[in-house]
RNA sequence: GCGGGUGUGGCGGAAUUGGCAGACGCGCCGGACUUAGAAUCCGGUACCUUUAUGGCGUAUGGGUUCAAGUCCCAUCAUCCGCACCA
């Protein structure tokens, strides 16, 4: 047989697979369906190793499931709107669409070079009008359901990107894309009301058994549900109340001051005419000028200023001073906080700094507290004191009792709060889906009628760094007539956050050419939800939370009939080299295309799947790649050695004719089938599946200088190639074509023969006091009682025991015997 | 600070349900083939010692158990997420 030459065979098979309908997927109710999906990429222009890892994992899953009898949907597409295309326009004068489409073309070429089994008939590109038409349609659906609204708010603004950002897209006070500091701006913006679904998004995390708990915990924290009470304090001398939210109603009798966020709307009224008004205004200004990072860091010093006004604690009538502070967040709760220094660390620090009163309301029954000796807030459990009729109640049960009492007396109410904010979806950018809204002087805000969708992106726009939305520079885009009254109107010039485009693409794959609606309900109900979603952990909140939200809204709109979009989620680890993530600045980038050129796609795939478990970070090793290449050569060579035998073998043969050595090989073969099947089907343990295949090939090497039974050789080759097919599709297809008819990728998955695995005798371990002292061969499945009887008769055991006494014998069939002596 | 993960040879990793620690691969050492090299093939490779029916060993210290990498408690290291959310 000729030498293994991936450069020749890989393009050969890729050409065959590229024929229009080779991977075409259709609904087939005779088989269980399986939807395997990798997160679609942003078309940056080139695949990186992270993509290679992602797609290699997905390809094994999809190819294996196909062979195992599932009707598999495995599509690919591009998350094609976004800033970089626009930056290319700004700096190189290239049209964003040209830049994007040429990048997509190159990435598809690279994906095909990897031998991935996508159904390209279903490809979606979110920047195409036939896709964003439906993104706009979905926006209108949200609008009609009261889930899209425009309001003026303090929002995150990134100067470098020249646009606003959602809370989820601000990481440590910095922009998720360009890493520049973000600051607050007051702007009228579009929001999606994700908070309406906060409770369900939280509760349904329990349904996601197939998700890593890490991701679920991150989402749980992000949603940030808390239970508490809301009540108001009357402002002394004003006809105003200050509403506060607290999770510690048990400390309500300990309020000694009131703390307001600098943005609190009541402040203007309170400070007008106060002697230190200008000083107060100065403090507010300074605080507002601080960066978000500084302001929200728990490290920063707590500062405040007294308004000169008091309010009244409704539970005990105590008059407490109202302060304006830098540590109360306007966005959360009511923007006002009750100050209980004795039982809250922040309040303690604040009260200490400004010499405010402190009242103990919870005592430690084990070691009674003395205020004068405390240098910290007491935040442990305890019993209420100084709390009227609640004295003596333990603080945990007091929480609920006090809320009941507040409700009874109509002072306050039980309240659930979330950290989750509504999703800010408008972007002052060009390369995105235009928000389909028209502003009419008479009729106000009007949706573009469905029949007029899509609102297409114009091309007479100017791209300038930092300028406002480029769409506002397009005359033909801006000027329009009102769909209601026909009068002069103008269009919304903001586009949608690209995370909206990616919140529903996995639905479009199911029905990608539908021109009547985004997708047909029954088709989506067949293919979706996604059975196995695969991607990076960086989307733990962003994309994965938004998609869950979309799914629930679409379900309520009766467009689909399930609750969660992704049944199982696999978060792959990063590809690192020399201890760091591959990056241009570190100069440790390995180009997938170079590796494929040198060793072939099969080697690249094999290495990346073998080198580490999928969830863990993968250390790139050039030597390791060579090892994978070596293995494929070994496979090629051993089948070459067996060539005549394989061709001369038959498929149904009498196993009894095999000699002992051949029986051992056959046993290893069937054990391997069992192991690989388990590793692929329920564990995604690709690394151990591959190591089992390596062991099998090593075992076959015993026959390199010997004659091998042709029937066994054929059985071996057939099953080996079937098992290799999902991992290394090209070499498997090529070798298969040399020995067998048909297409290896359309074979049924290998089945193991339980009888072949069973052994007559098994080796078990004999321990004395837990230490291995002897290995013996006994009949397979020899029972406990027999093993217990056997142990003391062994000469070695008798020798070692000497005159010590046997206290106990523990026997585990097919495993071990432990003789306990004293 | 809170929450979560991880810690096993020179390296990547295996041990799935508490049952022979180190599978498989890399590297290294030795051998075969070769004029020689490459490639390939075969063998060895945790550590220690008195070299064998030996001891010791899975971050550290303790515990449970006939038996612990695996379970429990504490500590250390490291990575990730959140972080003034009242």
ipTM of predicted complex:
0.95
- DSSP class of residue A449 equals P
HEC readout, A382-411: CEECCCHHHCCCEHHHHHHHHHHHHHHCCC
> Which nucleotide is closest to A229, CA to C1'?
B86
Residue A802 CB partners (closer than 8 Å, separation 6+): none
Quickly state the pLDDT bin for A466 (edges 50, 70, 90).
low
Our measurement of CA A804 to C1' B55, in angstroms, reads 21
Our measurement of CA A703 to C1' B86, in angstroms, reads 74
The predicted model gives A628-642 an average pLDDT of 96
Q: What is the largest CA-CA distance in chain A?
A: 109
CA distance A744 to A413: 67
Which tops the pLDDT comparison, A822 or A529? A529
Short-list A516, A474, A445, A497, CA closest to A137: A516
At A641-680, the pLDDT tens digits run 999 999 999 999 999 999 999 999 999 999 999 999 999 9
Q: How many CB atoms lie within 10 A of CB A281?
A: 14
Tell me phi and psi for residue A539, to 5 degrees: -100, 15
- Among left, alpha and beta (phi > 0; psi -120 to 50; other), residue A105 is alpha
| Whether residue A320 has pLDDT greater than 70 | yes
Of A373-382, A589-598, A664-673, A713-722, the range with the lowest mean pLDDT is: A373-382
- For residue A782, the model assigns a pLDDT of 87
CA distance A167 to A422: 9
Quickly state the pLDDT bin for A805 (edges 50, 70, 90).
confident
- For residue A465, the model assigns a pLDDT of 61
- For residue A161, the model assigns a pLDDT of 85
Coil, strand or helix at A448: coil
Q: How many CB atoms lie within 10 A of CB A219?
A: 20
Short-list A42, A103, A139, A100, CA closest to A495: A139
| Whether residue A90 has pLDDT greater than 90 | no
CA distance A109 to A45: 11
3-state helix, strand, coil in chain A (%, to 5): 45, 20, 35
CA distance A289 to A293: 11
> Which nucleotide is closest to A623, CA to C1'?
B26
> Which nucleotide is closest to A775, CA to C1'?
B20
Coil, strand or helix at A123: coil
- Hey, which bits of A251-408 come out as E strands? 257-261, 304-312, 319-325, 336-339, 362-363, 383-384
> Which nucleotide is closest to A820, CA to C1'?
B66
Our measurement of CA A771 to C1' B49, in angstroms, reads 19
The residue that minimises its CA distance to C1' of B81 is: A218
> Which nucleotide is closest to A334, CA to C1'?
B86
Our measurement of CA A689 to C1' B14, in angstroms, reads 11
Cα–Cα distances in Å, from A423 out to A77, A87, A548?
A: 25, 25, 13
CA distance A81 to A434: 11
CA dihedral A367, A372, A377, A381 (to 10 degrees): 20
CA distance A363 to A231: 24
Our measurement of CA A810 to C1' B68, in angstroms, reads 16
Tell me phi and psi for residue A183, to 5 degrees: -130, 170
Tokens at A668, concatenated: 């290893």
Our measurement of CA A679 to C1' B15, in angstroms, reads 14
| Residue recorded with tokens 């994309």 | A543
At A603-625, the pLDDT tens digits run 999 999 999 999 999 999 999 99
Our measurement of CA A621 to C1' B11, in angstroms, reads 10
> Which nucleotide is closest to A815, CA to C1'?
B19
Tokens at A169, concatenated: 């897209």
Coil, strand or helix at A87: helix
> Which nucleotide is closest to A290, CA to C1'?
B84
Quickly state the pLDDT bin for A101 (edges 50, 70, 90).
very high
- Among left, alpha and beta (phi > 0; psi -120 to 50; other), residue A354 is alpha
| Whether residue A518 has pLDDT greater than 80 | yes
- For residue A175, the model assigns a pLDDT of 87
What's the burial of A443, exposed, middle or buried (CB within 10 Å: 0-12/13-18/19+)?
middle
At A483-507, the pLDDT tens digits run 999 999 999 999 999 999 999 999 9
Our measurement of CA A683 to C1' B6, in angstroms, reads 20
> Which nucleotide is closest to A799, CA to C1'?
B53
CA dihedral A572, A573, A575, A579 (to 10 degrees): 180
Cα–Cα distances in Å, from A771 out to A17, A543, A797?
A: 57, 53, 12
Q: How many CB atoms lie within 10 A of CB A397?
A: 12
CB A338 within 8 A of CB A321: no
Our measurement of CA A688 to C1' B56, in angstroms, reads 29
| Whether residue A464 has pLDDT greater than 80 | no
Quickly state the pLDDT bin for A467 (edges 50, 70, 90).
low
CA distance A271 to A600: 73
Listing DSSP states for A639-676 in one string gives: HHHTHHHHHH--SS--GGGS-HHHHHHHHHHHHHHHHH
> Which nucleotide is closest to A629, CA to C1'?
B25
The predicted model gives A21-46 an average pLDDT of 96
| Whether residue A132 has pLDDT greater than 80 | yes
CB A720 within 8 A of CB A694: no
Listing DSSP states for A421-442 in one string gives: --EE-EES-SSSPBP-EEEETT
Our measurement of CA A671 to C1' B19, in angstroms, reads 21
At A206-224, the pLDDT tens digits run 999 999 999 999 999 999 9
Cα–Cα distances in Å, from A546 out to A535, A608, A627, A650, A729?
A: 15, 30, 42, 55, 35
> Which nucleotide is closest to A814, CA to C1'?
B19
CA distance A75 to A605: 19
Tokens at A746, concatenated: 């359309």
What's the burial of A352, exposed, middle or buried (CB within 10 Å: 0-12/13-18/19+)?
middle
**CB burial string A57-89: b at 16+ within 10 A, e below:** bbbbbbbbbbbbebbbbbbbbbbbbbbbbbbbb
Coil, strand or helix at A736: helix
The residue that minimises its CA distance to C1' of B1 is: A298
Of A197-201, A448-452, A659-663, A690-694, the range with the lowest mean pLDDT is: A659-663
At A42-82, the pLDDT tens digits run 999 999 999 999 999 999 999 999 999 999 999 999 999 99
Which tops the pLDDT comparison, A277 or A294? A277
Q: Which helix (H) or strand (E) holds A756?
A: helix A754-757
Q: Which helix (H) or strand (E) holds A216?
A: helix A213-223
Terminal-residue alpha carbon distance, chain A? 64
Our measurement of CA A770 to C1' B6, in angstroms, reads 29
Our measurement of CA A770 to C1' B62, in angstroms, reads 20
Bridge-based pairing of strands A33-38 and A530-536 is parallel
The predicted model gives A109-122 an average pLDDT of 97
The predicted model gives A424-432 an average pLDDT of 93
Which bases along strand B come within 7 Å of a protein CB atom?
3-5, 11-16, 19-21, 23-27, 39-42, 53-56, 66-68, 80-86
The residue that minimises its CA distance to C1' of B40 is: A634
Coil, strand or helix at A236: coil
Average pLDDT taken over every residue of chain A: 93
Beta partners for residue A149, in sequence order: A191
- For residue A774, the model assigns a pLDDT of 84
| Whether residue A299 has pLDDT greater than 80 | no
The residue that minimises its CA distance to C1' of B82 is: A221
Short-list A133, A115, A136, A116, CA closest to A124: A133
- For residue A659, the model assigns a pLDDT of 92
**What percent of chain A has pLDDT above 90?**
76
Chain length of chain A = 822
């Amino acid at each position: 047989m000729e030498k293994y030459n991936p450069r020749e065979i890989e393009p050969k098979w890729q050409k065959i697979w590229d024929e229009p309908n080779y991977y075409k997927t259709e609904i087939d109710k005779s088989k269980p369906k399986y939807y395997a999906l990798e997160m679609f990429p942003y078309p940056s222009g080139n695949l990186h190793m992270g993509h290679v890892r992602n797609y290699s994992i997905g390809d094994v899953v999809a190819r294996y499931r196909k062979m195992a009898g599932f009707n598999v949907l495995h599509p690919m597409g591009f998350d094609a709107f976004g800033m970089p295309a626009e930056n290319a326009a700004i700096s190189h004068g290239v049209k964003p669409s040209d830049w994007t489409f040429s990048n997509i073309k190159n990435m598809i070429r690279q994906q095909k070079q990897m031998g991935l089994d996508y159904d390209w008939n279903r490809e979606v590109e979110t920047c195409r009008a036939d896709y964003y038409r439906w993104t706009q349609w979905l926006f209108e659906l949200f609008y009609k359901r009261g889930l899209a609204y425009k309001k003026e708010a303090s929002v995150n603004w990134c100067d470098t990107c020249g646009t606003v950002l959602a809370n989820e897209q601000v990481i440590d006070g910095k922009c998720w894309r360009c890493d520049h500091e973000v600051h607050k701006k007051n702007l009228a913006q579009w929001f999606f009301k994700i908070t309406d679904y906060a409770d369900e998004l939280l509760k349904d995390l329990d349904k996601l058994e197939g998700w890593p708990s890490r991701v679920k915990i991150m989402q749980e924290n992000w949603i940030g549900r808390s239970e508490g009470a809301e009540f108001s304090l009357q402002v002394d001398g004003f006809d105003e109340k200050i509403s506060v939210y607290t999770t510690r109603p048990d400390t309500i009798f300990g309020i000694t001051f009131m703390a307001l966020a600098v943005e609190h709307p009541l402040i203007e009224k309170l400070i007008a005419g106060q002697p230190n008004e200008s000083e107060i205004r100065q403090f507010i200004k300074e605080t507002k000028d601080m960066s978000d990072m500084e302001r929200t860091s728990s490290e920063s010093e707590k500062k405040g200023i007294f308004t000169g006004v008091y309010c009244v604690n409704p539970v005990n009538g105590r008059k407490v001073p109202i302060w304006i502070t830098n540590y109360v967040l306007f966005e959360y709760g009511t923007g006002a906080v009750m100050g209980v220094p004795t039982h809250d660390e922040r309040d303690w620090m604040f009260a200490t700094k400004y010499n405010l009163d402190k009242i103990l309301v919870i005592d430690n029954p084990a070691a009674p507290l003395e205020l004068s000796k405390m240098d910290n807030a007491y935040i442990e459990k305890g019993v209420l004191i100084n709390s009227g009729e609640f004295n003596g109640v333990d603080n945990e049960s007091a929480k609920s009792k006090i809320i009941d009492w507040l409700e009874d007396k109509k002072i306050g109410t039980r309240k659930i709060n979330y950290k989750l904010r509504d999703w800010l979806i408008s972007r002052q950018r060009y390369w995105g889906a235009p928000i389909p809204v028209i502003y009419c002087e008479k009729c106000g805000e009007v949706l573009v009628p469905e029949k007029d969708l899509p609102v297409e992106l114009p091309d007479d726009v100017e791209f300038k760094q930092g300028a406002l939305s480029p769409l506002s520079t397009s005359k033909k885009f801006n000027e329009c007539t009102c769909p209601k009254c026909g009068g002069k109107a103008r269009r919304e010039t903001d586009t949608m956050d690209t995370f909206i485009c990616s919140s529903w693409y996995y639905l479009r794959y199911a029905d990608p050419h539908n021109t009547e609606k985004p997708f047909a309900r029954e088709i989506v109900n067949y293919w979706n939800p996604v059975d196995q979603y695969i991607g990076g952990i960086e989307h733990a909140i962003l994309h994965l939370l938004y998609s869950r939200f979309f799914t629930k809204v679409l379900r309520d709109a009766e467009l689909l009939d399930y609750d969660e979009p992704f049944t199982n989620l696999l978060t792959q680890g990063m590809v690192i080299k020399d201890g760091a993530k591959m990056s241009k600045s570190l100069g440790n980038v390995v180009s997938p295309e170079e590796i494929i050129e040198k060793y072939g796609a099969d080697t690249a795939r094999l290495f990346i799947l073998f080198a580490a478990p999928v969830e863990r970070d993968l250390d790139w090793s050039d030597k390791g790649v060579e090892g994978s290449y070596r293995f494929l050569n070994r496979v090629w060579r051993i089948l070459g050695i067996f060539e005549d035998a394989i061709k001369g073998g038959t498929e149904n043969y009498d196993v009894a004719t095999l000699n002992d050595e051949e029986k051992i090989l056959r046993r290893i073969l069937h054990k391997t089938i069992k192991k690989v099947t388990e590793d692929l089907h329920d564990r995604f343990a690709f690394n151990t599946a591959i190591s089992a295949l390596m062991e099998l090939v090593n075992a076959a090497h015993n026959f390199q200088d010997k004659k091998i039974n042709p029937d066994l050789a054929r059985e071996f080759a057939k099953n080996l190639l079937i098992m290799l097919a999902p991992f290394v599709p090209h070499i498997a297809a090529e070798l298969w074509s040399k020995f067998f008819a048909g297409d290896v990728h359309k074979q049924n998955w290998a089945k193991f023969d339980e009888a072949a695995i069973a052994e007559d005798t098994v080796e078990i371990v004999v321990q004395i006091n837990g230490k291995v002292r002897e290995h013996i061969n006994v009949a397979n499945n020899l029972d406990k009682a027999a093993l217990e009887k056997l142990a003391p008769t062994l000469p070695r055991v008798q020798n070692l025991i000497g005159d010590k006494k046997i206290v106990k014998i523990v026997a585990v069939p097919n495993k071990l015997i432990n003789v306990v002596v004293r």
